[in-house]
Structure 1
Amino acid sequence: MARPAPLIDLTPEQRSLLEGLSRSRETARRLVRRAQIVLRAADGEHNKAIAHALGLGEDGVGQWRGRWANSQERLAALADQPKRLRATIEEILSDRPRSGHPGDFTAEQIGQIIALARETPPPPLTHWTRQDLMREIMARGIATTISASTIGRFLTSGGPHAPSHPVLAPSRDQGRDAPPFRDTHSPVQK
């Protein structure tokens, strides 16, 4: 037999903040959905009904209901502090940090690498290769070490800061008959 879902009891302030989040067009969609889960749970709906109504999985609904239920004492302590209450509600309904190794390069370093790749290379070079960029990045002190494949990944990521055209020349190791470097992730190919 399934265990009963934890009961959710909202204060008027909590309900008001959750209703605002659930209707917000400026809040991340996942936060809107989670606020809707908590509101429906507080209205007495079962996880299965909430999941069906919102198009979610029953386990996910149970997870957010449980997280809210486990935080009710913490939330009650903030009843007279509306700004902290809102921040705590958003924290409770947000994803927890995920495990994993932090990136080796900061956003600033990646931006500098992309900016460097857009610069005209010094003579006698006519185009940047990954190897040339690697040497220049280390010479300028942007990074103490970086691989050619990492540079290529940054430049072909297709992200909003990446150029929409290839910025690298073919590697000197590829020989004359090798096709030019192609950015396979970019939406525009010339």
Structure 2
Amino acid sequence: MGRRGPRLPDLALTDAERETLQRWARRPKTAQALALRARIVLACAEGVSNMDVSRQLQISPPTVTKWRRRFVADRLEGLSDEPRPGAPRTITDQQVETVIAKTLEEAPPNEDSHWSTRSMANAVGMSQTAISRIWRAFELKPHLVQTWKLSTDPLFVEKVRDVVGLCRPLPGPTGKRPGPLRR
């Protein structure tokens, strides 16, 4: 009895291709989509039908057909993702670097205490939204002060002792300070 369905393209692997596909399929750092594609091609190279491969890997038959055809047409390069649709980037890496450097290394104009998205956008000629996205991506928060300044008051140490002395519990009748409260 003859086979049903369309004729499958022949799929023969070179030793180098087989080794690369096996490495992609078993390496934990490989993107899982690429690892699955490698497993599909390896199974197809063993002569297994598309339906059997789809059952083995628990994926749809059209998925097996797609990656088998792409591998036959373009070999290993055919298994990588194609560019996605959408508008190309309008902000360059140089612009991002400029925003980051300016945020971290320069003080804002007009005696402001910190950069705001609006002031940075005006300074670099970008939109406020773009600045906000860059800051979020690099976890920059210029509005939060991360410094500590020591007072220049000559009586500072005495004042600290007075304040801390008020907060500490007084000694009990035995002359010892009580321990922490327990509930």
Question: Would the TM-score normalized by the shorter structure come out above 0.5?
Answer: yes
1:134 lines up with 2:121 in the alignment: yes
Distance in 2 separating the partners of 1:155 and 1:13: 44
Q: What's the CA shift for 1:126? A: 1.1
Please show how residues 62-81 of structure 1 align to structure 2 within 5 Å: 62-71=65-74
1:162 lines up with 2:153 in the alignment: no
Which one of 80, 92, 95 corresponds to residue 106 of structure 1? 92
Identity among equivalent positions (%) equals 30
**3-state SS in 2 of match to 1:70:** helix
Q: What's the CA shift for 1:97? A: 1.9
Counterpart of 2:132 in structure 1 is 152
Q: 1:168 to 1:148 in 2, by over 3 A?
A: farther
Q: What's the CA shift for 1:125? A: 0.4
Counterpart code for 1:44: G
Counterpart of 2:41 in structure 1 is 38
How big is the alpha-carbon RMSD for the aligned residues of Structure 1 and Structure 2? 2.6
Q: What's the CA shift for 1:2? A: 4.0
Counterpart code for 2:44: A
Could you report, residue by residue, the CA deviation over 1:14-62 in whole angstroms, capped at 9, with x for unpaired residues? 3233223322334333222211111100112222332333343332222
Could you report, residue by residue, the CA deviation over 1:152-187 in whole angstroms, capped at 9, with x for unpaired residues? 22223xx3x233xx4359xxxxxxxxxxxxxxxxxx
Counterpart code for 1:135: N
**Structure 2 gaps, min length 5:** 145-183
1:124 lines up with 2:120 in the alignment: no
Which one of 56, 61, 79 corresponds to residue 58 of structure 1? 61
**3-state SS in 2 of match to 1:15:** helix
Distance in 2 separating the partners of 1:100 and 1:10: 35
Counterpart code for 1:153: R
Counterpart code for 1:6: P
Counterpart code for 2:104: R
**3-state SS in 1 of match to 2:10:** coil
Which one of 11, 29, 32 corresponds to residue 32 of structure 2? 29
Distance in 1 separating the partners of 2:58 and 2:101: 43
Distance in 2 separating the partners of 1:49 and 1:20: 23
1:115 lines up with 2:101 in the alignment: yes
Could you report, residue by residue, the CA deviation over 1:105-161 in whole angstroms, capped at 9, with x for unpaired residues? 1223223313323344245101222221012213xxxxxxx21122122223xx3x2
Provide the TM-score with structure 2 as the length reference.
0.63
Distance in 2 separating the partners of 1:2 and 1:113: 58
Contact 1:130–1:168, Cα closer than 8 Å, also in 2: no
Provide the TM-score with structure 1 as the length reference.
0.61
1:97 lines up with 2:83 in the alignment: yes
Q: 1:162 to 1:51 in 2, by over 3 A?
A: farther
Distance in 2 separating the partners of 1:3 and 1:129: 62
Q: 1:117 to 1:58 in 2, by over 3 A?
A: farther
Counterpart of 2:51 in structure 1 is 48
Contact 1:7–1:41, Cα closer than 8 Å, also in 2: no
Distance in 1 separating the partners of 2:47 and 2:27: 23
